[in-house]
């Protein structure tokens, strides 16, 4: 298979979809890898590293898309890329379609095959290609939240862990999944007073068992959220509905219940945000203020630590990329249920129900393309 790795062009996105090590693994299986010039530089990988691993370097993004049968990316294609994607071309990346209607319509129009990292799903409901970036984003959310609590950055002027004789900051984490768990670990390690909320009592029991003493669990509902708002300094939005839009757990009217300088970090911004006043921001201009509350809503948080993020991501994606390259997308998805659930749009058909629901589009079961491989998916 001919694989293309374009340079990411989203604002301040320094990750790359394939490392030189991953390139070598694909090349030794007989595949051709074409990498756009300087695609890996932001993550610390030079063009020479890719050439030594067997890749060929192409001068621009247009030639990279034109050459490839499968495109490997990190972030969803942006408008400049829509026209570059060809009919029947496989695009393997994060899409988050439910948050981007224009992207969804563009991919339907160009009749490509869109296989989304974020909806590849194992039988235990875990999301193996979302986990590594969720781990990075969860840990970063506390790092960034602690920074924006500083007074020069319009925060409350509170040190997250406090000092002897002074209480630490109070952190509320909405969601006990991978993002929330990693955020709680970081906040607890820095000495904060942490409350993690979830609707799943079994998950809360587990977290109560494994978290340190400065992490409390609390059932998530509107009443309990409102009860917490006037007491917390940092709120982390860490709610995920696989493939769908995140629910708004913090509404506009709730901002008035918070103290001036409270910081909100919405890690769910890629899925529309679980904070109603959330709108995507960039690393270049990461925050804005509404009702004296600081909002940090960067849509590609792990892009700020590209070396760590690229290695973590490709550790997870490479085994799936090898299957797709070795077998083609149809056979790979027929033989691997995890991959089949990553299919979102195929040749103009929306085959992932949460995406179809988001825009009232017709949902076409992917069995149309794969056949009835399983009794139940």
Q: Tell me the pLDDT tens digit for each residue of 180-196.
A: 999 999 999 999 999 99
Q: What percent of the chain shows pLDDT beyond 90?
A: 91
Residues 268, 208: one domain? Answer: yes
C-alpha–C-alpha distance, residues 324 and 334, integer Å: 11
pLDDT value of position 375: 53
- Listed residues 304, 320, 336: the one ending a domain: 304
Residues 97, 167: one domain? Answer: no
**Would residue 377 count as lying in a domain?**
no
Q: How far is CA 174 from CA 9, 26, 219, 294, in A?
A: 31, 40, 10, 17
Number of domain units in the chain: 2
Range of the domain at 167: 133-304
Query: What average pLDDT does the segment 135-146 reach?
Result: 97
Of the CA atoms within 13 Å of residue 60, those in its CB half-sphere come to: 6
Of the CA atoms within 13 Å of residue 194, those in its CB half-sphere come to: 29
Residues 154, 266: one domain? Answer: yes
Which tens digit of pLDDT belongs to each residue from 6-16? 999 988 889 99
Which residue of the set 193, 233, 266, 270 is catalytic? Answer: 270
C-alpha–C-alpha distance, residues 41 and 338, integer Å: 31
pLDDT value of position 245: 80
Residues 294, 318: one domain? Answer: no
Query: What average pLDDT does the segment 92-109 reach?
Result: 94
Residues 76, 112: one domain? Answer: yes
- Listed residues 304, 324, 354: the one ending a domain: 304
pLDDT value of position 240: 79
Residue 363's DSSP bridge partners are 350
Q: Is the pLDDT of residue 88 over 80?
A: yes
Q: How far is CA 1 from CA 8, 120, 333, in A?
A: 21, 21, 16
**Would residue 375 count as lying in a domain?**
no
CATH number for the domain harbouring residue 37: 3.40.50.720
| Residue 31 is among the residues annotated as catalytic for this protein | no
Residues 221, 260: one domain? Answer: yes
Q: What is the pTM of this model?
A: 0.86
Which tens digit of pLDDT belongs to each residue from 196-242? 999 999 999 999 999 999 999 999 999 999 999 999 999 999 997 77
Binding residues: 15, 75, 134, 198, 203, 220, 239-240, 267-270, 298-301
- Listed residues 276, 304, 332: the one ending a domain: 304
C-alpha–C-alpha distance, residues 101 and 16, integer Å: 25
| Residue 96 is among the residues annotated as catalytic for this protein | yes
Diameter over CA atoms, the chain: 66
Residues 67, 152: one domain? Answer: no
Q: Is the pLDDT of residue 138 over 60?
A: yes
Which residue of the set 96, 233, 295, 349 is catalytic? Answer: 96
**Among 301, 254, 243, 260, which Cα is nearest to 277's?**
254
Q: Which stretch of DSSP H or E encloses residue 228?
A: helix 222-229
> What is the number of H-type helices and E-type strands within the chain?
13, 15
Query: What average pLDDT does the segment 117-124 reach?
Result: 94
pLDDT value of position 54: 98
170-174 and 56-58 beta bridge pairing: unpaired
Q: Is the pLDDT of residue 376 over 60?
A: no
C-alpha–C-alpha distance, residues 375 and 377, integer Å: 7
Q: How confident is the model at residue 377 (pLDDT cuts 50, 70, 90)?
A: very low
Residue 42's contacts (CB-CB under 8 Å, 6 or more residues apart) are 8, 13, 14, 15, 16, 306
Binding residues for substrate: 15, 75
Which tens digit of pLDDT belongs to each residue from 330-373? 999 999 999 999 999 999 999 999 999 999 999 999 999 998 76
193-198 and 263-266 beta bridge pairing: unpaired
Q: How confident is the model at residue 98 (pLDDT cuts 50, 70, 90)?
A: confident
**Would residue 376 count as lying in a domain?**
no
Residues 13, 147: one domain? Answer: no
Binding residues for NAD(+): 134, 198, 203, 220, 239-240, 267-270, 298-301
Q: Is the pLDDT of residue 374 over 70?
A: no
Q: How far is CA 64 from CA 126, 182, 284, in A?
A: 32, 36, 27
Residues 137, 255: one domain? Answer: yes
């Amino acid at each position: 298979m001919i694989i293309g790795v374009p340079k990411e062009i989203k604002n301040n996105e320094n990750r790359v979809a394939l490392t030189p090590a991953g390139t070598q693994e694909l090349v030794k299986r007989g595949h051709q890898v074409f990498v756009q010039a300087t695609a890996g530089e932001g993550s610390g990988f030079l063009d020479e590293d890719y050439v030594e691993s067997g890749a060929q370097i192409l001068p621009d993004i247009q030639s990279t898309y034109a050459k490839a049968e499968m495109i490997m990316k990190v972030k969803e294609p942006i408008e400049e890329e829509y026209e570059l994607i060809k009919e029947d071309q496989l695009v393997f990346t994060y899409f988050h379609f439910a948050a981007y209607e224009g992207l969804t319509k563009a991919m339907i129009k160009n009749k490509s095959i869109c296989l989304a990292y974020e909806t590849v799903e194992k039988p235990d409901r875990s999301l193996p290609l979302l986990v590594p970036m969720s781990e990075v984003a969860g840990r970063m959310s506390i790092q960034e939240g602690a920074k924006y609590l500083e007074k020069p950055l319009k925060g409350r002027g509170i040190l997250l862990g406090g000092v002897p004789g002074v209480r630490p900051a109070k952190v509320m984490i909405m969601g006990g999944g991978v993002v929330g768990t990693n955020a709680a670990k970081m906040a607890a390690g820095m000495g904060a007073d942490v409350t993690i909320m979830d609707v799943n009592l079994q998950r809360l029991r587990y977290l109560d068992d494994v978290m340190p003493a400065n992490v409390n669990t609390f059932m998530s509902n509107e009443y309990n959220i409102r009860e917490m708002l006037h007491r917390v300094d940092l709120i982390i939005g860490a709610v995920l509905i696989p493939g769908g839009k995140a629910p708004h757990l913090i509404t506009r009217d709730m901002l008035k219940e918070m103290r001036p300088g409270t910081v909100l970090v919405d890690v769910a911004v890629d899925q529309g945000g679980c904070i109603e006043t959330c709108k995507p921001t960039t690393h270049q201009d990461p925050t804005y203020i509404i009702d004296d509350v600081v909002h940090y809503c960067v849509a590609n948080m792990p892009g700020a630590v590209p070396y760590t993020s690229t290695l973590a991501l490709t550790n997870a994606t490479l085994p799936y990329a090898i299957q797709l390259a070795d077998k083609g997308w149809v056979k790979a998805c027929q033989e691997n249920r995890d991959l089949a659930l990553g299919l979102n749009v195929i040749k103009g058909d929306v085959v992932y129900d949460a995406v179809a629901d988001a825009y009232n589009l017709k949902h076409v079961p992917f069995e149309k393309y794969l056949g009835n491989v399983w009794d139940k998916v």
